[in-house]
Each structure stands twice: as structure tokens, then as C-alpha cells.
Structure 1
Amino acid sequence: MTQYVSFSEVPFKPALRQDTHHEELPSNYNDIEPLEDFDLNTAEPVQTRPWKPKYHLTMGLEKCTFSDIIPIDKTLEERLALRRKIVSEHSDMVIASEPSSEAAVKEFYAKLSNWNISIGRDLFEPRENPLTVLPLWLMGWIRTVFDWLGIEALQMKSADLDPEEMNTRCERQTLHRLMENDNTLVFSFKTYQYPLKQIRDEGGGPALAEAIRGINRGSVPTVEWYKASPYWGRAAMEYLRGGSSEEPGEICK
């Protein structure tokens, strides 16, 4: 699982004569409900199954509280270690900012520190020398997806894939506005990966297979090439259906 945070500055608009923005915010904006009887060693990651028979590009917005904006589970230490490694070795690719975001970044990390301590004092505690967030001005050109991954995905063939090593990837995204820097939106998304074997064993294989088959049958048919599904779709669907050779559908051109 991987988690990313980005900041988006919305265009400034002059305030109305009676600006009640902060007064209209919910009173529990900073109220965090502590975790009770929480065991970090056994807490399972969020299990989400968002797939549909046809892929329609929608946002699927739902309300959530600030208590569960960042779910914590037994993979926490592993993910933090991986994040430190990636930032240390590839900072030029994964970190970027502009001078205008400095105040927003500082506010966000101040809120995040408060969130960490409030959500679980047994998990997080302040240090004598707390981390000082410094602006890091790393600007670079946007790399293509294939340059980033370092793989030649378009040359992949379904016959080359081992379904036992395949995973389905889901994202849990959150969006909220900062209070002090209220022209800034914080967009956070966390990636979950579930082995196809797990999906098939729990009985969800046919539903996921139908969703794969329907990738090019929704509102954005060309998304199948973005996801490269013509190259892995057949192998995945046959595996999810129990290894049968059922008609794979148009996705496997």
C-alpha cells in the first residue's frame, strides 16, 4: 500500500461582505475520536470492492470524518519504511512543490501531528526535538508513466503473466480544505492491493472478471489502453473464473 498527498491551490476569489466561511465549518473539524482497544499488529487493511460490470469514470463522493481520513492498519511500519526509502533514493521524482505552498504545507503537517497523537497516543508521541517542516523546492518535468515505472508495459503478453502473482489495485481518496489557508485543497490517496487469489477464494472472482471485461464498455472505452487491459485481461479473467476458458469478451482483442 502506498499513500500520497498533494496540495492544490484554488483561484482566489474576493470575500463577500460578510464572510462566514469559518463559522460554517462543522464544529468537530478538529475533534478526533481516539482508537479504542486497537492492536497495530492485527488490524487488517481496509477491504474495498468497488468494481462494477461497466467502467464509468465517476468520482463516487462520500462524506467521511477526520477520524478515519487516514486508516491505520498492521502495514503501517512497513509502509513508512518503504516511504522513507523511496523519498531517500528518488526524491527528485516523488517530491515537488512551489513557494506558494509553503504556508499550506506547514499547516497540514501541524494538523497531521495533532491527528497522530489524538488518534492513538500509544502509536504516536511527540519528541523532544520535533520535526521542523522545511520547504523543499524540487521542480521537474513530468515524466511519462513508462519512464516512471521503468517497464515496457506495451510489450506484455497475457501468456507471459502468472495469475498467482497478480493483484488488483484500489485507491481510497480523500479531499478537504485547510482552515487557515482556505484557498488550498488537500488531496490524499492511499493505494490498496489485493491478491487475485484472495478475491477468487472469497467468491468475488466472477464479479471482478465481469468488471475487467466491462472496462471498455462504459463511458470511457479508451481507458482500456490506459490500464493496458488488452494485455493482461484474458489471463486475469480466466483465473478469476476458476481457470475456465469461457469466452473472454471484447477486452482481449
Structure 2
Amino acid sequence: MAFLLALVLIASALVALATLATRRRLCFSSQPSLTSDHANSGATTPSQREKKKGRSSESPESKPNIEALPDFDWRSTAPTKVTKLRPFKPTYNITMAIQTSTPSELIVMDNNYLDRVTARRKTIADHGSAVFGAIPSGHAPVKELYSYLLSKYLPTRYPTMFNLIQTPHGSHTTVSMLRNKVTNLEFPVDPAPRDPAEMLQILGETVEDDMFLLLQDQDSHNTTTTSNGEHRAVAFVCCHPAGFDPSSKLGKRLAEIHGPVPAYDKIGASMERFFGRLEVGRGVRRVNWSFQTHPELYAPSGNHVHAGEKVEEEASIDMERARFRVELQTLTRLPETQAILFSFKTYMYPLDEIRAEGLGPQLADAIDGLKAGNAPGMWVYKGGVRWGKAACEYLRA
């Protein structure tokens, strides 16, 4: 349920910062099957949303300035060289700080890249629609995101890893392809695939970030410029779930998605309002942490404890396999479809690494702190009731 909790924490922090006048910008350029049993669910069209919210997809904000890294060497770039994430605090509160982000920071690469995308390709092959999918209203946002990442962002930001090539197609035409220099794979850019399922699979094995796209429902009872329609998940590709089944969120509204999260009722209405006001060209990032007793990135179950579930303290935990799991998350709006993109990259830290930095006691305090703060239910929800005692003893030793 890290996805659920992450959206709660992002929105809570954003509401607190909504009055700030200056924020740096994160945005997407606009470039112009899989379906589920879910209905279209009344999601608005881009033109309807622009009329209701006064947004324009033709604004200068929709043209990002992507800073190129012409000498970037992914093989020599350790994750800790890019960023070392230690977001734990002694008391856990559901309101947490966020940072503004730039267009260039959307995708972070490091020397885990080849191993990660290779594993993601297998995860997609093994689990199929459990890790990617879209309802009809998500098809256009998927196309917009696919076009931006493959035709603009990746070859511009990381030219040592990606480049655009022209491939003959027939006797008189050519096809624009993205060439992945790391994997030696090529994917069509112009024309792009017609099937959103194919686009999601390509995205899933080209970048290691997991992605959810959300759209606001059309509220037929509200004709003002500030619709009260709820947001729902319309598309996703997620190979690194931390305690939830990604496919179970497809087509659901935020309130339904966040049902299991402790204290969600405190901020649910504010969360919807903020999502409705989020502007093109405004992006944020934050981190979210959890603890797990194994090193697996694909963990759709077992990381969380739900209401009514019988749990017992684990008698024996192999701390060499346990991981401090952190997600670096971003939230922004696409200019053409007005979809909200929630994406995250997962970092896995062995506990010995935390102890070697002298931060074992601080992480132990943060684990104990799940019982306190404004959402004490997090101690059970995050699984502390199972592994908390053993983990804290190990970290403080």
C-alpha cells in the first residue's frame, strides 16, 4: 500500500504549501488494445477540463527545459552518489515535507539500471495485467506520457544511453525509433504503437520508475470552473509494488484506493481539492519509507497489515535480508490530457549500511515512532507489530 500512503502524504503536504507564491516547475511537452472490464467512469475530456479549470495546454509552461547530461556514465553512478535517502524521524506524522522539482529530475539513472529493467521485463512477462493496465479514459494519457519520455525526455537528458534513429519501413517511409544503447532494444516513437498495453509494457522495461496516471471525473452537478469531481486511477505500470496489488487500484477513486490507510479521513477532502487545483508546470517530489524482511522489489503482499488480519510477532528474522525501502516520488500534471502523473523510483538499503553510517539508533527510533504521531495506526499498518522489536534490537546493537 505504499502507493496509497504516498498519495496521502503528498497531498497533505501540498495542501499546507498551497499558499506559497514561488515554486519551481516540472512539466511535460505535448506530443501527439488494452482495456479492462472497468467502465469509462465519467472522466472528463481534455477540453472539458480546460474549460472547467481555465487551464491551457498551449502555455509556455508545457515546454520543459530538459538539461542534457552529455557525459553521464550510468555504470559508474552509484545510487548513493545521486542521492542518499534517509527520511526517518523519531515521530511519524502523516503530514510530511515536499520539495519542488525540475523537468530534468523526472527520471534518475544509476548503475542499477540494467539489472532493474532486465528484472522488470521478466516481471511484466510473468505477471502481465497484474503490473500494467488502462481503462479507456487512460488511453490518451498513456500515449502522451509515452511520446514525451521516448521522443523527448530520455534522448535529451541521457544521450549516452538513448538516441533517436530512423528505420526504413516499406519502400517510401521511415519509422522514428528510440534506441536503448544499454539494452540494445529499439522501440517505435513515430508512429507510436496504437495499443496502450504495448506502450505501458515498453515504458515498464525502459525506465525503472513505476507510474500511475489519474484523471478527475466529470461532475455533472457542478458547472463552475472548480469541479468537485473525484480523481481515479486510469492507467498504471508498476513492477515494484510495496505491499499492494497494483491492478486492484485501476478504475478506482482516491477514496476507494485509500480505504485501508490510517487517518485518511482527516485529509481526504483536502487531497481531492489539491489534486483538482494542481497546475501544469508545477511539480513536487518527496520520499516515503517502509521496512521489509526480504530484498524483493516485487512485493504485492506481505508488507502491510490490514484491519481484522490476525498477526503475530515474527520469531526469527534474517536481518541480512531485511531492507529499509525508500521511494523517491514525483507528482505533476500532463498538459494535453490534464492527467496527473504519480511516479516513483524505489531504493533498497541493507540494514548494515544504515548501521555503518551510525544511523541505526535513529532508524530504530523512527520505527518505534510509528506508534506515536497523528496516525498511530501506522505501527500495525506498516507491519511494525511483526518485525518492529527484532529490527529495533538489531539496529541499536
| 1:142 to 2:248 alignment | yes
Q: CA RMSD in A?
A: 3.3
Once the two structures are TM-superposed, the CA of residue 40 in structure 1 deviates from its matched residue by 1.0
| 1:126 to 2:164 alignment | yes
Change (3 A) 1:215 1:117: same
Matching residue within 88, 91, 96 for 1:54: 91
Find the counterpart in structure 2 of residue 21 from structure 1.
56
Scaled by the length of structure 1, the TM-score of the pair is: 0.79
Find the counterpart in structure 2 of residue 250 from structure 1.
none
Find the counterpart in structure 2 of residue 105 from structure 1.
142
Find the counterpart in structure 1 of residue 363 from structure 2.
208
| Structure 1 residue ranges without an equivalent (≥5) | 4-8, 243-253
Once the two structures are TM-superposed, the CA of residue 214 in structure 1 deviates from its matched residue by 0.4
Relative contact order, higher structure (CA 8 A, sep 6+): 1
Deviations 1:125-171 (A, max 9, x none): 2343532332239999729x9x9437998656443101122110111
Deviations 1:104-142 (A, max 9, x none): 111111110111100121101234353233223999972
Scaled by the length of structure 2, the TM-score of the pair is: 0.52
Query: Percent identity among equivalent residues?
Result: 35
Aligned to 2:362, the other structure's residue is in SS state helix
Change (3 A) 1:20 1:106: closer
Aligned to 1:225, the other structure's residue is in SS state helix
| 1:116 to 2:154 alignment | yes
Matching residue within 355, 380, 383 for 1:225: 380
CA–CA distance in 2 between the matches of 1:152 and 1:111?
35
Change (3 A) 1:14 1:176: closer
Change (3 A) 1:14 1:40: closer
Find the counterpart in structure 2 of residue 39 from structure 1.
73
After TM superposition, the structure 1 = structure 2 runs for residues 44-83 of structure 1, keeping only pairs within 5 Å, are 44-45=78-79, 46-83=83-120
Matching residue within 331, 334, 337 for 1:181: 337
Change (3 A) 1:102 1:16: closer
Higher strand share: 2
> What is the number of equivalent residue pairs in this alignment?
232
Once the two structures are TM-superposed, the CA of residue 180 in structure 1 deviates from its matched residue by 1.4
CA–CA distance in 2 between the matches of 1:24 and 1:83?
36
Aligned to 1:96, the other structure's residue is in SS state strand
The letter of the residue matching 2:56 is: H
| Structure 2 residue ranges without an equivalent (≥5) | 4-41, 168-174, 178-187, 199-234, 237-245, 250-259, 261-298
Matching residue within 313, 321, 327 for 1:171: 327
Aligned to 1:194, the other structure's residue is in SS state strand
